Structure 1
């Protein structure tokens, strides 16, 4: 099992947070869950979410099989 946390911020008042946890179900099969958050600052013209909102949340669930 592993846990990852990344946080970023800049002078434009943009903030991003990503957290994930990977768990080995059995040898060779890993499940990873991730949650992402972004706050778009007032000085930013556009953002990668293509959202008109100031805050956005996303996530993913990954199944990886190694042979």
Structure 2
């Protein structure tokens, strides 16, 4: 995501969702390659994390 796109996000809404729900989806924040790289970092120590990150990658790419 480009810096100008990040600046255009509704950070007050994002903050409220994080406070209320503990998580938030920001479509387009990471591309598929970045999500796969992140999932590789957790593969050995957090077996469920790669699955969650890969699924987030698919969701983010589909909604980008």
Relative to its length, the structure with more strand (as a share) is 1
One fold, TM greater than 0.5? Answer: no
TM class, shorter-length: under 0.3
TM-score (norm 1): 0.24
Higher-RCO chain (CA-CA 8 Å, sequence separation at least 6): 2
Larger Rg: 1
